[in-house]
Structure 1
Amino acid sequence: MVRRNPKNPATRNTSRGSNPSASTGGGSGFVRIISGKWRGRKLPVKNVEGLRPTTDRVKETVFNWLAADLYQAKCLDVFAGSGGLGLEALSRQAEHVTLLELDKGAADQIKLNINTLNADNATVVNTDALSYLSQAGQAFDVVFIDPPFRKDLLSDVITRLEKNGWLSPNAMIYIEAEKELGAIDVPVHWDMVKEKHAGQASFRLYQREEE
């Protein structure tokens, strides 16, 4: 069952969200690892239209929220983009991270960055996230969901994660979405434990409780 919020319907729009820190000029930008074993490392980001890496300020807050949950966790980054969230999780001693990214150039850049870090516990899948999540899956302990803004993707992702076995009984789920979307429809057994807003984005952390 999914919570409904009739006062805050999803906004349908064909434009992507943007973030001024997503890239530097017309060329490739970079993401910085905030903490952990690769603290301070800067890694290149493929210049892809609509790519909107999570800002350092937001990322630091989110990973402070998750500090007690990442050690030896199996993590899934659903819309990996720059790979910044997944790589940060690896730096903070996640056991393994799977990163899903539709754009081949962006996916290839994440793979290069993983090789640069000599990490052998990450898997990058160049795929459409909704198609990938339509199959039966393994359970993940921490899931990052940061879809392109105004594409109306969240509901389908949440449904498929639940329906197809992608979540461990007490999984932590991070969702970043456009602020204008308002409250997000989530299953009744997802408890929101943290919420903040920054710029155009709202970011929330949920904990799943086994039904």
Structure 2
Amino acid sequence: MVRIIAGSRKGRVLTVPAGQTTRPTADRVRQALFDMLLHAPWGGPALICGAHVLDAFAGTGALGLEALSRGAKHATFFETSRPALAALRANIQACKWQENCTVLARDVTDPPAGSSPAELVFLDPPYHQNLPVRALDALQGKGWIAANAIAVIETGREEPLPFPSEENTPEKTGRPVFLAERQHGAARFSIWRL
């Protein structure tokens, strides 16, 4: 069972599609992730409150909906799987957030032009397909990501970080800056300033 952990919709059970194609981020992992976002020196309540959040490879929308519950203003979700889209739309409706959400049934590596850049970006793609870099490049190229946005990227625990460490020096302007990393089970979360 997947629930919203905190905020205005705390305890709301989320619909999850049957099968193994969608793997929602577990409640305890989301709790740890949002605790880090709220308490890290580069984070804080202002990172989420009033923010436009982008949830790429959204699945059930658990990450974006958690951010809305904690005070984000708007969430944009990218998803292509029909069962996941049905679950995502049901979850948005159950939370009564139709006015606060945009659902795009589009491949995030080929997005339309963005109209409102996101300050907080969640990427939870299928593992082992090198999708985080391709997705971020496409989103930035189409205006979906605000300057100095924070990106939370989930990859498999054994996968290398999406951006090699030699590219993350202050001299390399325009490249994401590594902020933090946490491992939970088979997953690795890396946090970046874009």
Task: Give the TM-score category using the shorter length.
Answer: 0.7 to 0.9
Following superposition, the deviation at residue 158 of structure 1 comes to 2.2
Q: Report the CA distance shift for 1:50/1:44 in structure 2 as closer, same or farther (over 3 A).
A: same
Matched, 1:191 2:177: yes
8 A Cα contact 1:77 1:86, kept in partner: yes
Structure 1 stretches of 4+ with a deviation exceeding 6 A read none
- AA paired with 2:188? S
Q: Where does 1:24-63 land on structure 2 (aligned, <5 Å)? A: 30-63=1-34
Q: Where does 1:134-153 land on structure 2 (aligned, <5 Å)? A: 135-138=112-115, 139-153=117-131
In the TM superposition, what whole-angstrom CA distance separates every residue of 1:60-104 from its partner, at most 9, and x where no partner exists? Answer: 121122232100000100100111101101101101001111112
C-alpha distance in 1 between matches for 2:143 and 2:102: 19
8 A Cα contact 1:171 1:207, kept in partner: yes
- AA paired with 2:110? S
C-alpha distance in 1 between matches for 2:37 and 2:7: 13
8 A Cα contact 2:122 2:152, kept in partner: yes
Residue aligning to 2:110: 131
Matched, 1:78 2:56: yes
Runs of 5+ unmatched residues, structure 1: 1-29
Higher helix fraction: Structure 1 or Structure 2? Answer: 2
C-alpha distance in 2 between matches for 1:117 and 1:203: 26
Q: Where does 1:1-211 land on structure 2 (aligned, <5 Å)? A: 30-67=1-38, 68=45, 69-119=47-97, 120-132=99-111, 135-138=112-115, 139-185=117-163, 188=168, 189-208=175-194
8 A Cα contact 2:152 2:191, kept in partner: yes
C-alpha distance in 2 between matches for 1:183 and 1:130: 19
Alignment coverage as a number of residue pairs:
177
Partner SS for 1:172: strand
In the TM superposition, what whole-angstrom CA distance separates every residue of 1:24-73 from its partner, at most 9, and x where no partner exists? Answer: xxxxxx42101000111112211143211111222112112223210000
Partner SS for 2:86: helix
8 A Cα contact 1:177 1:202, kept in partner: yes
C-alpha distance in 1 between matches for 2:34 and 2:96: 22
8 A Cα contact 2:109 2:134, kept in partner: yes
8 A Cα contact 1:31 1:82, kept in partner: no
Give the structure-2-normalised TM-score: 0.84
- AA paired with 2:158? E
